[in-house]
Amino acid sequence: MVGGVALGGGAPCVVQSMLCVAPDDVAANLEQVERLAEAGCEVVRMAIPRKDCLDAFEVVCASSPLPVVADIHFSADIAVQAARRGAAKLRINPGNIGGLEATNPVIDAAGEAGIPIRIGVNAGSLDDALAAREDLTLPEKLAESAAGYVDYFEGRGFTDLVVSAKASDVQTTVDAYRLLAQRIPQVPLHIGVTEAGTLFQGLVKSASGLGILLEEGIGDTLRISLTDDPVQEVRACWALLSALDLRRRSPEIISCPTCGRCQVDLIGLAKQVEERLQTVAKPIKVAVMGCVVNGPGEARGADIGVACGQGSGVLFAHGETLRKVSEDQIVDALMDEIAKL
């Protein structure tokens, strides 16, 4: 349990993101938490790079509508303090926190607070001895590192664990998580492609890698890491889960790519509909189709939609025609019908 949110054990895959404003600015962090919560984020992570950020972290934890995970590198003491100041979970990498022995007080603090620990292993921060081994591939090194940490934690009686093993390369990430799913099936997995890039590239890399894993039943919580507004990460997570029919929270748009048969500004219409749907929290399918070829027939599975003709469009619901409207009325008419659903 991360606060009131269950990870693993058959629970739905949980959507996460991370705060990216100054860690000592309480107001800015809480404002970002609110925006993320509105977008559908279920767990949020906050970096604590310095001890003087702990006071702000404590206030954020106390005021946040979402469970707050403390993200700590290099300092076991900060991790201990975060556990005592309201963290819903700790995220550490034993490889850069001083090794296994250094995690002992962190394990004890998490146990006393009754919170889980995510063991986060990254391709760029493997411990030196493991990184130097030439008999293992990089995915094998990631899996070996994470599984070794799990063995140590469980050997000390601490089993409230989550594991991640991320790389910026898609195939490395997929292979590492496949190995972990076999090696430590009792531990929930946090999946993600780290440092995936800016919006376009990051979405493609994350969707390809995480889509493979989710389709194989691997992944109990996910973050799509983007060099962008973290709200975009949350929207992307839900779009991916929806595309795989795993979870639905918001509308999905079905729209054709346009062709020479199209006689309206379909690209403009689709973008307007997408923008207006940002505030709609209904798990529905909305079709915006350019002509009768891709109209009610091919979009029959949509809850509501429009098939466009010359300067006009025909609204339909579940393949049945509702009415015809002019091009300048399509978006408003479509939104009016959505409001009735």
Enter the pTM of the model.
Answer: 0.89
Of 152-161, 183-192, 253-262, 277-286, the range with the lowest mean pLDDT is 253-262
Provide the token pair at 231.
Answer: 């709200």
| pLDDT tens digits for range 8-55 | 999 999 999 999 999 999 999 999 999 999 999 999 999 999 999 999
Same-fold call for 14-243 versus 252-340: no
| Mean pLDDT along residues 108-133 | 88
Mean pLDDT of the chain, nearest integer: 91
pLDDT at position 292 is 65
With cut-offs at 50, 70 and 90, classify the pLDDT of residue 194.
Answer: confident
| pLDDT tens digits for range 58-86 | 999 999 999 999 999 889 999 999 999 99
pLDDT at position 82 is 97
* Helix, strand, coil content of the chain in percent (nearest 5): 45, 20, 35
| pLDDT tens digits for range 228-267 | 999 999 999 999 999 999 998 888 888 888 877 778 888 9
Asked if residue 298 has pLDDT above 70, the reply is: no
Q: Please, are residues 153 and 81 in contact by the beta-carbon 8 Å criterion?
A: no
With cut-offs at 50, 70 and 90, classify the pLDDT of residue 123.
Answer: confident
Asked if residue 294 has pLDDT above 90, the reply is: no
pLDDT at position 264 is 83
40 three-state secondary structure: coil
**Domain ranges for the chain:** 14-243, 252-340
CATH number of 252-340: 3.30.413.10
Beta-bridge partners for 92? 119
Asked if residue 170 has pLDDT above 90, the reply is: yes
Provide the token pair at 305.
Answer: 């939609």
Query: Which has the closest alpha carbon to 335: 253, 263, 260, 265?
Result: 253
| pLDDT tens digits for range 306-338 | 988 888 888 988 878 888 999 889 999 999 989
- Give the whole-number percent of the chain exceeding pLDDT 70: 98
End-to-end CA distance of the chain: 34
With cut-offs at 50, 70 and 90, classify the pLDDT of residue 296.
Answer: low
Whole-number Å distance between alpha carbons of 302 and 321: 12
pLDDT at position 281 is 83
3-state secondary structure 213-226: HHHCCCCCEECCCC
Whole-number Å distance between alpha carbons of 165 and 187: 13
CATH of 14-243, one of 3.40.50.300, 3.40.50.620, 3.20.20.20, 3.40.309.10: 3.20.20.20
Whole-number Å distance between alpha carbons of 209 and 317: 34
Query: Which has the closest alpha carbon to 20: 58, 50, 46, 1?
Result: 46
pLDDT at position 30 is 98
